[in-house]
Structure 1
């Protein structure tokens, strides 16, 4: 192996975090001001990219700038979004702009700015495997570097932040790859979009709506016909009203975590509009483009059909796709023919194959998911003295806030407090006006 003083192939750390998305990058940022804490973030990519396939010029974030890597637990931190604006000499113009929501392009630039200031973040480092070494009381992590060398590192604690992967449902499995793309790759397949006579978006949510918005703009300029098919009964907006937003608070997360497993699962299903809807601004832009198209008699057909379930899909032999669809209200089936399908079908948790050697030590719930404690650590066998934390893999245990960027700093503060055994960062305690739990049973009867 290639041994260098700058990066020895064998080293030991307090924490190794796998994956460098916004959550683990925020973990590194908060740890960077703690002198006695040795934390390392390993990322297999050569550099930081964030949703490049959906990086539309005008797309904005759905959380405000305070939901950055650090501010909600450390507002004076040197890696805050405000510090980034100041360093880029845009603080004054951002203030005059009077818009708390950065563009998606600006947010990615902020992430890259922060990563460049964190020597604890190592790119081109792919974690192949993690094991528990009982003799040393450490996790051992096998890493392959971009230069072809390998190393075995050790850490008292691990954090898994490998994110989610684009999901393609079975109903679309019969479509050849050249006629199908996921929204995550939309801008990377622009040539295919341009060449198609009709593009059909299957699924809704914010990603699906942004693709439809782009397609409608193309349609006005002579681009392809557009179809939008969604299972939801309407093209529903995100419910971002003030009191509903309190479900993103630590108060609600603590309440949700204490509920029975079955109740949590029911609530996640009921709260879909909170994290799977479309922003009202995007819906308004879509309607405006449709109105403009009506005025100028758009060059190609456009159809929007909610309440549609795609039951099967296949290539028709002529280079087109034939979708078998069902109208959910009436049960009537029909066929839809298109040149290109864009799957706005969301994301699923990535398989954590790298921790397969730990499988016998991990506790799971009745549905086979990790049993996750309030501090975001996975329940392990009693003999394991280290902690294994997860980021954005605990929707089932922590509720609708788990994937949200605005809970990232709080989650990371809880993790750092847990690994150090002290309150490095004060966790917010009063974050909601809503009382989620019933009042105390003062009579002791169990009935209120």
Structure 2
């Protein structure tokens, strides 16, 4: 240890992607990495950890397998270590529950000595003369400096509530906090869920099960034209492969933005299993009397929430097809309204060096590094903050290992990890031999 702690890579944020980066770096002798996070310990989506909720990707989408299936930290290695390999085989389900995937991630965390929790990044400064970053961090109240050749920003996302739902009322909660408020929701007289992605659907399933047992009235509003399924058909999924990611990154900015608008069903839809469960619960209600009412409304845009004198909320919306104004009241409103990129305030000292596109977003190269001035290009990488550049794959667990392999190969200056050459049957680009003169 010198005056400053020195590493080749400092990864900011200890989510699945940077945990995976640390796992893949653990078998590379000449690349030192440190992953820091301000939270005291790793936890994953605790407010939505329903017992039966499954991942929407295969177990092969662990932190290493899709680049190196022989790595010692694969999901299969985890199953073998905890004596669950044969039960998993007999289960015949490639999709682990979220709870089991979190247990796997915790297993990986325990095997790494390159993760440091309870550490907040204050600022990231680029020293052009020395060709490295100087990163000020605070750990247990003590401020120190980490010198890093490269920085990977993977601070993830945070819950967002749109302005139309803004209220100081405690009767409004975000879906990410649902399980912490589940008991109150089940005891309420009426609950409204706004938003029809997977999170909203899982919460409605839970509320319908409670409704069948004498629980609350339930309303479910979404602005989408229908309660749409996730597009997980075979050739559609090729849009989430590395082949498409590379093609998308090669497109002009204006084209990328136009194409992205059509990809909403990859991340805003509902799994077919969940849709089937929803319909089954609605059907079973038909066989019982004296239940609290349930109403599903699609194509409704919420225009505001009003807090009433008794503490209840009045939800106002507009039916998008007819323009009709709608309103109802609820004891609790759950906003399944998604997430936004978390603030990267610590990058303020280098913001002026980073290249931006016409929308003010970082210009990201194929290896996930940010284009920049003063020798900074190729030194700062983004993880799950570059969907504008690489497309729908950015937040997907099944792209994490590929992204991390590109980062490690770039840092090492050689092919530390070999990337798959053929990842899709679809030809996304246009070959020169196909173009008519």
Q: Could you tell me the TM-score, scaled by structure 2's length?
A: 0.98
Question: Quick one: which of 378, 383, 399 aligns to 2:375?
Answer: 383
Return the alpha-carbon distance in structure 1 between the equivalents of residues 192 and 221 of structure 2.
Answer: 7
Contact 2:23–2:73 (CA under 8 A) maintained in structure 1: yes
Any idea what SS the aligned residue of 1:178 has?
coil
Question: Quick one: which of 213, 226, 234 aligns to 1:221?
Answer: 213
Which stretch of structure 1 is more off in the superposition, 147-156 or 238-247?
147-156
- 1:290-329 to structure 2, matched below 5 A, reads 290-297=282-289, 299-329=291-321
The question of 1:78 aligning with 2:72 is answered yes
Give how far 1:176 is off.
2.6
Which stretch of structure 1 is more off in the superposition, 334-343 or 29-38?
334-343
| Alignment correspondent of 1:46 | 40
Return the alpha-carbon distance in structure 1 between the equivalents of residues 34 and 138 of structure 2.
Answer: 15
Q: Deviations over 1:231-283 (max 9, x none)?
A: 01110000100000001111101111111111111111111011110000000
The question of 1:167 aligning with 2:160 is answered yes
Give how far 1:223 is off.
1.1
Q: Deviations over 1:299-325 (max 9, x none)?
A: 211000011100111212221111211
Question: Quick one: which of 192, 199, 202 aligns to 1:200?
Answer: 192
- 1:395-414 to structure 2, matched below 5 A, reads 395-414=387-406
The question of 1:239 aligning with 2:241 is answered no
Contact 1:220–1:298 (CA under 8 A) maintained in structure 2: no
Contact 2:370–2:378 (CA under 8 A) maintained in structure 1: no
Give how far 1:114 is off.
0.1
Any idea what SS the aligned residue of 2:270 has?
coil
Any idea what SS the aligned residue of 2:316 has?
strand
The question of 1:122 aligning with 2:116 is answered yes
Any idea what SS the aligned residue of 1:335 has?
strand
Return the alpha-carbon distance in structure 1 between the equivalents of residues 289 and 230 of structure 2.
Answer: 30
The alignment of Structure 1 onto Structure 2 pairs a total of residues equal to 437
| Alignment correspondent of 2:95 | 101
Structure 2's unaligned 5+ residue stretches are none
The question of 1:132 aligning with 2:126 is answered yes
The question of 1:187 aligning with 2:179 is answered yes
- Over the aligned positions, Cα root-mean-square deviation in angstroms equals 1.4
Return the alpha-carbon distance in structure 2 between the equivalents of residues 89 and 124 of structure 1.
Answer: 32
The question of 1:265 aligning with 2:251 is answered no
Any idea what SS the aligned residue of 2:287 has?
helix
Contact 1:13–1:39 (CA under 8 A) maintained in structure 2: yes
Contact 1:16–1:39 (CA under 8 A) maintained in structure 2: yes
Question: Quick one: which of 421, 429, 436 aligns to 1:437?
Answer: 429
| Alignment correspondent of 1:148 | 141
Give how far 1:297 is off.
2.7
Contact 1:165–1:347 (CA under 8 A) maintained in structure 2: yes
| Alignment correspondent of 1:248 | 240
Any idea what SS the aligned residue of 1:295 has?
coil
Return the alpha-carbon distance in structure 2 between the equivalents of residues 74 and 30 of structure 1.
Answer: 9
Structure 1's unaligned 5+ residue stretches are none
Contact 1:219–1:298 (CA under 8 A) maintained in structure 2: no
Give how far 1:67 is off.
0.4
Any idea what SS the aligned residue of 1:113 has?
helix
Return the alpha-carbon distance in structure 2 between the equivalents of residues 62 and 102 of structure 1.
Answer: 9
Q: Deviations over 1:69-111 (max 9, x none)?
A: 0000010000000000000000010000000000100000000
| Alignment correspondent of 1:415 | 407
Q: Could you tell me the TM-score, scaled by structure 1's length?
A: 0.95
| Alignment correspondent of 2:356 | 364
Which stretch of structure 1 is more off in the superposition, 369-378 or 194-203?
194-203
Return the alpha-carbon distance in structure 2 between the equivalents of residues 198 and 357 of structure 1.
Answer: 49
- Which 4+ stretches in 1 moved above 3 angstroms? none
Contact 2:409–2:417 (CA under 8 A) maintained in structure 1: yes
